[in-house]
Amino acid sequence: MENEQEAKQRFMQLYAPLHERLVRFVQTLEWDREEARDIVSETVVTALEQFATLRNPNAFLFYLFTIAKRKIYKRAKQKQRITSLENLPEELSSTYASDERINNYELKLALSQMEEKYREPLVLFELSGFSIREISLLLALSENGVKSRLVRARMQLSKLLNGKLHEE
């Protein structure tokens, strides 16, 4: 039986290479940077507290991202945020707002309008760097199911970005 310090070291060895992917995943699904930081922190704390229950270290990636996903959706349900381009955050509507920040806002807005079953694989693949196989394991889908959802997600995102958002 390992002591608490050894468990923390083992946890950090598994967590360190996944940190950036986790941050990108959370920031893509959570608009507010402070909220995203809080979710990442809560995810790490929860994962560390429950680390002893993880039987297979090879499942750590899925364990960590499942915790993050649950925390994101729990917060979203609590807030029930409704946004539109007419209600741009003040920092985006200023004359000093960069095109990149506005484009980032439009992307996040479009992603928020997508069905979860399409948004999630797209974010995991395109923004968090997961492989098709990893996504299939994480979402309990076949690899072909993931590929199909990615195609549909890209089509839906394209329509949202090129259609609805720019018509307003």
What are the structural domain ranges in the chain?
Answer: 1-81, 84-168
Percent of all residues in the chain with a pLDDT value above 90, rounded to a whole number: 30
Q: Residue 47: its pLDDT value, please?
A: 93
Q: What whole-number distance in Å separates Cα of residue 81 and Cα of residue 88?
A: 13
pTM for the whole thing?
A: 0.60
Give Cβ neighbours of residue 22 (< 8 Å, ≥ 6 apart).
40, 43, 64, 65, 68, 128
Q: What dotted CATH number matches 84-168?
A: 1.10.10.10
- Reported as a pLDDT band with limits 50, 70 and 90, residue 79 is low
Closest CA to 130 of 107, 146, 148: 146
Least reliable range by pLDDT among 25-29, 75-79, 133-137:
75-79
pLDDT at 96 > cutoff 50: no
pLDDT band at 7 (very low <50, low <70, confident <90, very high): confident
pLDDT band (50, 70, 90) for residue 82: very low
| CATH classification code of 1-81 | 1.10.1740
- Specify the higher pLDDT residue, 144 or 94: 144
